[in-house]
Structure 1
Amino acid sequence: MKEYIPLEEGDYYYTEEGYRVFTEQYLLKRGYCCESGCRHCPYGYNPKTNTIR
């Protein structure tokens, strides 16, 4: 089971459409790449090639 990481200020924001977008700050705290093509992925995942730099 994945570890629960509590959300803090600066971990996400909402788009105009109402979607929650996680920031690089949160993704680094989480500690791994989910390979979903996150907008602010600090791990360099490329969904077109399915690779992490």
Structure 2
Amino acid sequence: MNDAKTTKTKIEELHKKACEEGRDFYIDPETGYQVMTALYHRKRGHCCESACRHCPYGFKKQD
């Protein structure tokens, strides 16, 4: 498995676990930054249009 796929899989696992535990954030394994979960976004109740990694509203930035 290549590094990009391994990282994506790890992020998906971290996000799923954080949501199952009711947490609003998890730590990105590569950067150490906090990442907002989809759970957090839904609790906030609206899209900020910043193309967040786990946006439950489907927003994608235009190139």
Instruction: Tell me if TM exceeds 0.5.
Output: yes
- Deviations 1:12-48, CA, capped at 9 Å, x for gaps: 0011211110000000000010000000000010101
With a CA cutoff of 8 Å and minimum separation of 6, indicate the structure with the bigger relative contact order: 1
Off by >4 Å, runs of 4+ in structure 1: none
Q: 1:39 aligns with which of 44, 53, 59?
A: 53
Unpaired runs of at least 5, structure 1? 1-8
TM-score by length of 2: 0.59
Determine which structure has the larger helix proportion and give its number.
2
TM-score, normalised relative to structure 1:
0.69
Q: Please tell me the residue identity of whatever aligns with 1:15.
A: D
Gaps of 5+ in 2: 1-21
Higher strand proportion: 1
Q: Secondary structure of 1:21's partner? A: strand
